[in-house]
Amino acid sequence: MYILELTLKHTALPLSIQKQTAEAAEAAYGEISKALNSGSPVMVELTCDKQPDKKLAVLVSELAAVQVYEKSGSTTASGKAPGFFALAAE
């Protein structure tokens, strides 16, 4: 399972959807990246493969960042949870 995580401007809590395959995750990532670069379309709609009733509609102008990662449990090999706001242990 692959996680597509969206971070919105002025919002600490990210939005996320799950995709079954790397290809589906990369396609959704590409769609968002293209929209961010061009400013068009104004809104991006995404669906979740794990929860088919879960849908997101996000204004492109409100997106701060997007990332894709493979779900492999609650933490990574470094012991950190994946995400933009994960803190490094020092």
State whether the Cα torsion 15-73-2-65 is positive or negative.
Answer: positive
Three-state SS at 46: strand
- pTM of the shown model: 0.74
User: Which residues sit opposite 44 in a β-bridge?
Assistant: 58
The answer to whether residues 8 and 63 touch, using CB atoms and an 8 Å cutoff, is yes
pLDDT tens for residues 47-88? Answer: 999 998 999 999 999 999 999 999 876 555 555 555 555 544
Segments forming the whole domain that contains residue 18: 2-70
Element (H, E) at 52: none
Q: Is residue 79 part of a domain?
A: no
In a domain, 80, yes or no: no
Max CA separation in the chain (angstroms): 42
Domain count, the chain: 1
| Domain-embedded: residue 41 | yes
Residue 17 placed within a domain: yes
> pLDDT, tens digit, for every residue of 12-32?
889 999 999 999 999 999 999
Asked whether residue 90 is domain-assigned, the answer is no
Residue 77 within any structural domain of the chain: no
